[in-house]
Amino acid sequence: MLIRVDDFPHGDLALHNQLRSQPGYDHRDHIWQFLQAFESRGVPYVLGVSPELINNHSDLFFLRGLQHCEVALHGFNHGWHRFAARWPRITETWPLGGEFAFATHAELRASMQRALHTLSDFKLRKFIAPFNVYTQPLLDVLNEFGFEQLLGGEAGLQHGMHKLQHGGLQLDLCLPPLYNDARKILPHLAQAIAADSTITLHWIYEQPAQAADWDAIARQVAAARQPAAPQPAAAAAPLQLRSAQPAFQTAPAAAVMLRSAPAAAQPAAAVTHTALPPAGTAIAMVTETLNFTSGGVRCIAETLNELTRRGYNTACYVTQPDLRCDWLQLEFPVRPLAQLPDFRGVLISPYSPTAELVANSNASGKFYWVHSYEPRFPALTGRPDSWRTMSEQSYRLPQLQYFATSSYVQQILELIYGREVLAPLVPGGVDPQLFAPGAKSAGLPRVMFLSREHAFRGSADIVRALQLARTQGANFEVLVMGQPLDMGGLEHRLLPPLPQPEYAALLGSADIFVHASHFEGLPLPPLEAMAAGCAVIATHPGASDYLLDGHNALVVPPQRPDKIAAALVQLHRNSAQRAALAANGRATVTRSYTWAHTADRMEQALAEGMARLGLAFGRALPEAAAAAPAAAPTAGQPARPPLVSALVSVYNAERFMRGLLDDLEAQTIADRLEIIVIDAGSQQNERAIVEEYQQLYDNIVYLRAPAQCSVYGAWNLGIAAARGQYLTNANADDRHRADAFERMAGVLAQRADIALVYADVLITDREHETFENNTAVNAAIWEDFDAARLRKDCFVGPQPMWRRQLHTRYGNFDDQLQVAGDWEFWLRCTPPEEFLHLNEVLGLYLRSPQSRENRDRPLARHEAQLVRARHLAEPALVAA
């Protein structure tokens, strides 16, 4: 049997009156009095939830804690928003469709998209229409989105439901006396259990004393669910329902399958509208050929391989007749372009010559994965100038949505071509099991680089740098793979392009890898070298998102052989630095740049793009695979990327570390939290405590700045390593409400127009207190956001959360500032960005006389003047 509980969190006058009579009323406490009867006995039930009424912070947290509950969609807003002012007259809308009156198909689809996003933690298959009033567009949308069952009552018949076409939707008809309060249902419960009928309960009208009736229902249902000793079965007395089932059975337009009377069910009639195919289950790319050795082809092949493993139906269409790929293993079919017109799923161009093919295709979702700035190719490679025209046109196709491999490419698309680039960035990756550290030679340090066809690849710069390094006594064993080139008399070993396993093994034997390109979208060879345990020297040719100078690489300007030579000499003399760069480089790859990470990010970008089209997107795993337990991530293949990255700058803060890490790991979204601890040159032993916690938790990253730096310099190091969509700073001596990050991230997820959120904080003078247990002496209640007001002083507060993408657009924090760097960055962002004040207390702030701004008031005033002078033209404000 089915137990149905309606109306969470409810918005009608019953709840309104409760709030008026009881100022401290909490609807979650109210409903829990009744639901705990089912939860404590393991009795399954369905709870109808109206998504536009719930509080995304507290109500979702409550719902996630219910272990035996299936969530059903109970309308979208239950009519409350529209009819609250004249609730007694809501019945006037019933003949027109109740909550759904006057709503078009497109409007209902948009409401459904929002609902599925809000309740994305739950698998929604059942729908309850408030007051049993449906419309044909609503039923069409429910069929489109894969709903299976309508939970209704007799009133549905009164409002013409039998005249509608229901498609594949089954109707579970619940009628009095089983549609009532608990006390009135109890006398009929045995018959309902015997007939496998549905009962419907309304918690909002129940008094606390009636919790005993719910408990009696739960107890009786739990007993009936227990397997009975074998005995002759007695026929159950039929339950007489006051229903109008014949109206459904005889309706010529559409027959409805009645759960309470299966023998009378008729085949479902077809829905009249043409539904789109399930978007997102099929993903394909279009390129010229896969039988060509290049980083771009590797990105296509490895990403499609990973998406195939996740259950997507993948393929690659090629414009050339060669359907082979002799140098990589493929787990998807390669198809000729002639078959492309039949494709209806998500289609991606990774290359400008195929962008227009995707734009003009029959695909439901059309995307361009932009890897580089291709209009520069004619000047760099000798391609005809027509390539520049074609590639520039590919960035202006209105049918396409764009996502990019790097912040460099993103800025070009946004600033030059005015494209809105989907988030997140989708860089290529590395297989860290193939590219892994190998045995190093005991002789001279081994340097390896790739020799490429075109001068912009920088091979000549590397040769010149090796010559300069030799004049300073730095000799190397030199390995070159690729094209023959003039080595200027340097002893070296030249190898042809090798198969992937041999190339990876050779790279694993090298001590140093040099990449000296003058121009790249986002190069893969330095990442492969990092994974293989090399110390990397690399130029920053526009795209350098993963390069962190002094941490995972030595980064030098393009076309500067002297700088490359200085880096070679430095690493020749310092084997410890070589080892540190190699270890940090491999950690960079395994933490953020595997093919699993590429697929994760692509899923996010495609989901955002399909949502903008009003289409669902997701995996379509076979039933058996979906039911199987998830395998544990293998080495180098971590779980999904974090949602939030917390930046923790520490300097002589050892006494705070345990409380800090306990506070962060207690966050309600700790499973989607990345904690990046940046040691800003501390003289204490914070590292030992961090390493102790790393043994317990897999979401903690430790970085140490190459030299003592400001808090903003430390944050910048953390930003370069961060993987979360959102960033927050977590000061070592501050604490948070347990759901603070969930609350702020939830707002950013819902409000695409908001770049940063900030909330109020309690203020304490005592160290080592928690948000739950403190002796706060005051509270900082911040102003609502006003960009003009922000130019006078900073009121964003000490614990904001912001989109990581802001740093792609506006750069990093000014690390020359000591106390005003955050304010300066917020001013850089506004306008055009919008911030939002959350009018609630989410944190605990320690007011310490040892903080820099309190310890050095003249410095704070000086930096405030600098910031005002930089961002304001009004002399009066500068002098203030």
Q: For 526, phi and psi rounded to 5 degrees?
A: -60, -35
Beta-bridged to residue 756, according to DSSP, are 802, 835
Say whether pLDDT at 519 is over 80.
yes
The rounded distance, in Å, linking the Cα atoms of 86 and 78 is 14
Say which CATH topology domain 446-593 has: Rossmann fold (3.40.50)
Q: How confident is the model at residue 849 (pLDDT cuts 50, 70, 90)?
A: low
- Which residue would you say has higher pLDDT here, 758 or 81? 758
Say whether pLDDT at 516 is over 90.
yes
pLDDT in tens, 764-793: 888 888 888 888 788 888 888 888 888 877
Note the pLDDT of residue 493: 94
Note the pLDDT of residue 259: 31
- Measuring CA to CA, how many Å separate 547 from each of 300, 522, 587? 23, 11, 12
Say which CATH topology domain 2-227+239-264 has: TIM Barrel (3.20.20)
Average pLDDT over residues 321-342: 87
Instruction: Supply the DSSP string of 551-575, one letter for each residue.
Output: TTBEEE-TT-HHHHHHHHHHHHH-H
Spell out the residues 6+ positions from residue 508 whose beta carbon is closer than 8 angstroms to its own.
435, 436, 437, 438, 532, 533
The rounded distance, in Å, linking the Cα atoms of 118 and 746 is 9
Least confident of 228-232, 359-363, 590-594: 228-232
Say whether pLDDT at 467 is over 90.
yes
pLDDT in tens, 174-190: 777 777 788 888 888 98
The rounded distance, in Å, linking the Cα atoms of 787 and 831 is 7
Please check whether the two domains, 2-227+239-264 and 282-415, share a CATH topology: no
CA–chain centroid gap for 333, Å, is 29
The rounded distance, in Å, linking the Cα atoms of 168 and 146 is 9
Note the pLDDT of residue 57: 58
Say whether pLDDT at 532 is over 60.
yes
Q: How confident is the model at residue 850 (pLDDT cuts 50, 70, 90)?
A: low
Say whether pLDDT at 480 is over 90.
yes
Note the pLDDT of residue 355: 95
Note the pLDDT of residue 252: 29
Count the Cβ atoms, other than its own, within 10 Å of residue 213.
19
CA–chain centroid gap for 285, Å, is 22
Which tokens hold the place of 104?
Answer: 């078009």
List strands edge to edge, sheet with 334-336.
334-336, 313-318, 282-287, 346-349, 365-370, 401-404
In the chain the first and final C-alpha atoms are separated, in Å, by 72
- Which residue would you say has higher pLDDT here, 286 or 204? 286
pLDDT in tens, 114-155: 888 888 778 898 988 877 677 888 888 998 888 888 887 655
Buried b / exposed e over 666-705, threshold 16 CB at 10 Å, is bbbbbebbbbbbbbbbbeeebbebbeebbeeeebbbbbbb
Spell out the residues 6+ positions from residue 773 whose beta carbon is closer than 8 angstroms to its own.
none
Note the pLDDT of residue 625: 31
Average pLDDT over residues 195-204: 86
- Which residue would you say has higher pLDDT here, 522 or 395? 395
Note the pLDDT of residue 293: 79
pLDDT in tens, 628-658: 333 334 433 334 578 999 999 998 888 889 8
Note the pLDDT of residue 11: 54
Note the pLDDT of residue 270: 30
The rounded distance, in Å, linking the Cα atoms of 258 and 265 is 6
Note the pLDDT of residue 542: 67
Average pLDDT over residues 479-508: 91
Say whether pLDDT at 529 is over 60.
yes
Beta-bridged to residue 700, according to DSSP, are 675
Q: For 520, phi and psi rounded to 5 degrees?
A: -155, 155
Note the pLDDT of residue 86: 42
The rounded distance, in Å, linking the Cα atoms of 556 and 748 is 36
Which tokens hold the place of 593?
Answer: 């740049």
pLDDT in tens, 144-153: 888 888 887 6
Note the pLDDT of residue 397: 94
The helix, strand and coil proportions of the chain, stated in percent and rounded to the nearest 5, come to: 40, 20, 40
Q: Domain limits of the chain?
A: 2-227+239-264, 282-415, 446-593, 644-879
pLDDT in tens, 852-865: 555 566 777 777 77
Q: Which CATH superfamily is domain 644-879 in?
A: Spore Coat Polysaccharide Biosynthesis Protein SpsA; Chain A (3.90.550.10)
282-415: CATH, from 3.40.720.10, 3.40.50.2000, 3.40.50.300, 3.40.50.720: 3.40.50.2000
Q: For 509, phi and psi rounded to 5 degrees?
A: -90, -10
Note the pLDDT of residue 853: 53
Strands 2-8 and 45-49, by their bridges, are parallel
Say whether pLDDT at 60 is over 50.
yes
